[in-house]
Amino acid sequence: MFPELARSSARFGRAVLVATARREGGRTDLRVLRLSRFFATPARRPTRQLLDQICDESAARMIGGFGHRDRLRIAKAIWNGADTHGALAEEVGIKTGPLYHHLRSLERAGLVDLGARNCYRLTEAGETILLALAALTRDDARAHKKRRRAG
């Protein structure tokens, strides 16, 4: 995954790997995002160099796009097949005005696109962030479900 680490045992640094795989019928789509900084001496600051690559404006826009519970619910519904306004309103259970507001926010954040025939779809960034959130919050979701069943 990180060939820089295989070259020498005296390597210092940080690395991030995000991989998504999708299988639809006979077609497999594998995307790998890899970011790393390694050095021969520990005194360098690889974390700072990695973080300096963040475009603060883009990151804030994307994070803000998912900054409301209903927007997350809308994104999940889109990914599960509810791609029209009517289907989203029914699936998510929110009124037309707020639904349009949240869809516009998701579009401005670059997380959702409006495709042909007024069908919404998640962008590659939207899918990747949604999957990362699923992985990061998996244990929280399990605990929340247990609490709801017990309560």
Residue-level pLDDT, tens digit, the chain, 151 residues:
666 666 666 667 777 778 888 787 888 888 887 777 776 776 666 677 778 888 899 999 999 999 999 999 999 999 999 999 999 999 999 999 999 999 999 999 999 999 877 899 999 899 989 988 888 887 776 766 776 777 6
CA-based max dimension of the chain? 58
d(CA 112, CA 130): 11
Supply 129's token pair. 């962030």
Query: Which domains are present in the chain?
Result: 1-53 (no CATH), 56-151 (1.10.10.10)
Q: Half-sphere exposure (CA, 13 Å, Cβ side) for 65?
A: 26
Q: In the structure, how many helices (H) and strands (E) does the chain have?
A: 7, 4
- Give pTM, 2 decimals: 0.74
